[in-house]
């Protein structure tokens, strides 16, 4: 048996260093070599005699006190605080994974410049939620919301990318407010006090109709945004009623938004908004290619024709449907 060196609290002690193989193991090995069957080992629980433990602590009270003092350094550690950040850590890991996926298909990201004045400006803004649908090609669009023109309408043909653009604005703004990169080539954004959105719900309404539910939710949005610099997003709000009533509710809502100087975007099919004193964006279509959707959002009032084309086709009043009727191939 040799001796080993144990260092603790700047003190060194000689300790016995037993061989790796015990005497019992050696005897068992010899018996095995002689042809004797070795008995099966039974696990044994070794318990420390409390009287012996107390005696050792008494004999080496100074050393035990040093050990207790060292252990006490860690007994007051607050393990709750580190674990309270688990959800935040998971969130940023998910963001990191999303950044990798976006980079893989060529979608850029950047750290948005912090604007000192209320505005939301971005070049080539992407809706990365489309990655969840395994979209390999995402069309970017610009955002330009300033104090001079804080609120816009968006018109356009169905399936032209209006909701996608609305979602791109909201998702990237949330990322910015969370301290994350935004999915754009470059951006300069103000830290708005609150971001609110209204999307029609595909659900049954308890004791109320869709219109009443939309009015209630819109009122709640405006109340929550009161006395704040807010960014508001509306997707076809009040479209579930007749055009006249829906447009009246729209103009009333937008008047309150303008009075409070909120920012935002309102997607609608009410072309009467062209008569209002607000910028109008449109989902561009390729008129030379059967109104093919380009998913580009441009500042233009030329989207009325593409939307009208959709309406005519829906009711089979478009050129092809009428021609088929004349030939006796339609009803």
Q: Measuring CA to CA, which residue among 18, 26, 178, 31 is closest to residue 111? A: 178
CA dihedral over 194, 200, 206, 210, signed as positive or negative: positive
pLDDT above 80 for 94: yes
Q: Mean pLDDT over residues 100-109, rounded?
A: 92
User: What is the 8-class DSSP label of residue 289?
Assistant: G
Residue 290 has pLDDT above 90, yes or no: no
Q: Which of 161, 173, 228 is nearest to 197 (CA)?
A: 173
Higher pLDDT, 23 or 110: 110
Query: For the chain, what are the domain ranges?
Result: 86-300
Per-residue pLDDT reduced to its tens digit, 170-196: 999 999 999 999 999 999 999 999 999
Listed range (27-36, 80-89, 134-143, 261-270) with the worst mean pLDDT: 27-36
User: So what's the architecture of 86-300 in CATH?
Assistant: 3-Layer(aba) Sandwich (3.40)
Q: Of the ranges 187-191, 268-272, 311-315, which is most confident?
A: 187-191
Point out the least confidently predicted range of 88-102, 115-129, 214-228, 282-296: 282-296
Is 111 a residue whose pLDDT tops 90?
A: yes
* pLDDT value of position 12: 44
What pLDDT sits at residue 142?
97
- DSSP tag of 275: G
Percent of the chain at pLDDT exceeding 90: 43
| pLDDT at position 20 over 50 | no
Provide the pLDDT for residue 316: 66
pLDDT, position 210 = 81
Give the SS3 label for residue 170.
Answer: helix
Site of tokens 């912090």: 114
Task: For residues 295 and 235, give the distance between their C-alpha atoms in angstroms, rounded to a whole number.
Answer: 17
pTM of the model: 0.67
Q: What is the pLDDT of residues 120-175, one digit of tens each?
A: 999 999 999 888 787 778 899 999 999 999 999 999 888 889 999 999 999 999 99
Structure confidence at residue 118 as a pLDDT band (50, 70, 90) = very high
With bands split at pLDDT 50, 70 and 90, how would you rate the model's confidence at 207?
Answer: very low
DSSP for residue 86: H
What confidence category does residue 27 fall into, taking pLDDT thresholds of 50, 70 and 90? low
């Amino acid at each position: 048996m040799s001796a080993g060196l144990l260092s603790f609290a700047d003190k060194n002690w000689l300790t016995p260093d037993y061989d790796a193989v015990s005497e019992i193991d050696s005897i068992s090995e010899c018996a095995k070599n002689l042809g004797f069957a070795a008995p099966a080992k039974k696990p044994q629980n070794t318990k420390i005699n409390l009287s012996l433990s107390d005696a050792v602590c008494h004999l080496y009270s100074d050393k035990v006190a040093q050990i207790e003092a060292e252990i006490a350094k860690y007994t007051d550690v607050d393990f709750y605080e580190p674990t309270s950040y688990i959800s935040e850590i998971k969130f940023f890991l998910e963001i990191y994974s999303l950044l990798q996926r976006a980079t893989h298909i060529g979608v850029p990201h950047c750290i948005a410049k912090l604007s000192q004045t209320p505005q939301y400006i971005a070049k080539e803004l992407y809706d990365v939620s489309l990655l969840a649908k395994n979209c390999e090609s995402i069309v970017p669009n610009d955002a330009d919301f300033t104090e001079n023109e804080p609120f816009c309408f968006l018109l356009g043909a169905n399936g032209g990318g209006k909701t996608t653009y609305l979602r791109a604005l909201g998702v990237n703004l949330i990322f910015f407010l969370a301290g994350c990169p935004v999915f754009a080539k470059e951006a300069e954004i103000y830290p708005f006090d609150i971001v609110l959105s209204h999307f029609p719900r595909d659900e049954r309404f308890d004791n109320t109709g869709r219109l009443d539910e939309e009015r209630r939710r819109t009122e709640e949005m405006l109340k929550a945004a009161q006395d704040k610099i807010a960014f508001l997003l509306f997707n076809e709000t009040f479209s579930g009623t007749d055009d006249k009533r829906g447009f009246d509710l729209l103009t009333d809502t937008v008047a309150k938004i303008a009075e409070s100087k909120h920012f935002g975007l309102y997607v609608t099919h009410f072309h009467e908004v062209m008569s209002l004193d607000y910028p109008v964006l449109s989902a561009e279509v390729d008129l030379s290619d059967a109104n093919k959707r380009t998913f580009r959002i441009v500042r233009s009032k030329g989207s009325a024709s593409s939307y009208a084309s959709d309406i005519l086709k829906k009711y089979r009043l478009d050129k092809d449907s009428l021609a088929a009727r004349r030939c006796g191939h339609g009803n």
